Structure formats: structure tokens, C-alpha cells
Amino acid sequence: MAAPAVEATVASALRSVILRARKAAEQVGRDPERVRVLPVSKTKPVSLIRQIYDAGHRCFGENYVQEIIDKAPQLPEDIEWHFVGHLQSNKAKTLLTGVPNLAMVHGVDGEKVANHLDRAVSNLGRHPLKVLVQVNTSGEVSKSGIEPSSVVELARHVKHHCPNLVFSGLMTIGMPDYTSTPENFRTLSNCRADVCKALGMAEDQFELSMGMSGDFELAIEMGSTNVRVGSTIFGPREYPKKTT
């Protein structure tokens, strides 16, 4: 259980992030209401999420399937959950079954995982699921996501061959030290233009998920509609110590 002082700090930190996000949007003439701030509580207790919920926030993100299916049942059903981590195709059914109020999956990086999600939505009889295609904009081998040159093909597959999914946009994870952030974000914006042209979609209705604690303001200035903010709100991650 987190201490009350920590919980108050978390709620205050979220308010600060939202104000910064609004200011970043307004500086480039964007509607701040088109930017969704997703607190990502990775490794943090449910009590901290509850504190933010009690302050009025309803959209949350998680990186790991096991963590989101553990946390979601302990929290109110009107939360809009976003899965923002890498999803293995064999975990699609587990994710959807465990989180009935899942609103969006940000990391679809291949036809296989898209097909598994589509089938799981159909089998569960739930409303269509919004998904974003993940793009590897940094060229790192360690990163999930498809190459920019393959984005249109995968987006077309989701849109035309996965009737239980709603293709809603693109997502990327930039370099961990943020050194190539502008280029990563620019690449995703270019991919958006390509997809919108190929599929006849309006850019102003297209979601972009890019930007985290270290670069979310720049991401918003460059068109992001979803920023995934963890440590700036919740503090440093707490991972179990490895035993040798």
C-alpha cells in the first residue's frame, strides 16, 4: 500500500503533466482535447492508479499482459484501458478476456497478432477493438514494430480483413536516450500521411501514439494524440532484484 503522501504526489504530478500537455498543444495551434494523457503505472501498486482515478482521470495504460489483467479487475469498470506494450499473438485472448473494458491496443506489429485479436474479439462477442499499428522508426533491432515501408500494407490488412478491429492510427517508441526523437516522430508523421492517402482516411481523425516522460511535449507539438507517461507521474520503476 502506498503512503498517502506518495498518492497525493502522484495526483499532483498528473495535473502538472496535463497542464504541460495542454500548453504544448496550444503552442502549435492544436486542440488540447485531442491529446490523451495515459499514465502508465508499470510495476506500481493499484492504490496509486486509484488515487489518480479519484482525481477524475479515466484513461490508463499498461505495458504487460499479466499486470493489466491483475490490475483491471481491482479498479472501476469505467476506466478506459490502453495496452501499450508488445503483444504476443498467443496472449491476445488472455488480454481481451481479462480486461473487458480494454479500449485500445497500441502495439499491433504484424498480421498474425492482428488476426488473433480479431478472432478473440469475435469469439468474446465484444464491441470492435481500436488498434494502432506499431512502427519501428528508430531502426533498432531490439525494438518491436514494422518497418515504415510496410506500414500501408499492414494498415490495409487490419482495415479490410479484420472486421472486429478498428484501425485507428500508428504508434512508435523512439530511442531510449531521446537523441533521435524528432526524426522518429517525423517518420511516424510521414507514415500517417502515406496511410491516410492510401486508405482514404482523414489525418485529423487519425491517432498517433508517440511521446513518453522525456519527450511528450515535443511529441504533441509534432502531432501526437496519445502520450504514454510513466516515471514523471509515478516515479522511478521498481523492479524485483535478480537473484544469482
- Model confidence pLDDT, tens digit, residues 205-216: 899 999 999 899
pLDDT number for residue 244: 46
**Which residues of the chain fall short of a pLDDT of 50?**
1-5, 243-244
Position 8 scores a pLDDT of: 63
Domain positions in the chain are: 26-227
Q: According to the model, what pLDDT value does residue 181 have?
A: 72
- Cβ distance 106 to 133 under 8 Å? no
pLDDT value at position 143?
76
Q: What is the pLDDT of residues 125-169, one digit of tens each?
A: 999 999 999 999 988 776 789 999 999 999 999 999 999 999 999
pLDDT the model gives residue 52: 96
Please report the pLDDT score of residue 6 as a whole number: 54
Looking at residue 178, its pLDDT comes to 58
Q: What integer pLDDT is reported at residue 237 of this predicted model?
A: 74
3-class state of residue 228 by DSSP: strand
- The DSSP result for 175-228, as a single string, is -TT-TTHHHHHHHHHHHHHHHHHHHT--GGG-EEE---TTTHHHHHHTT-SEEE
Superfamily the domain 26-227 falls into: Alanine racemase (3.20.20.10)
Which one-letter DSSP state was computed for residue 78?
A: T
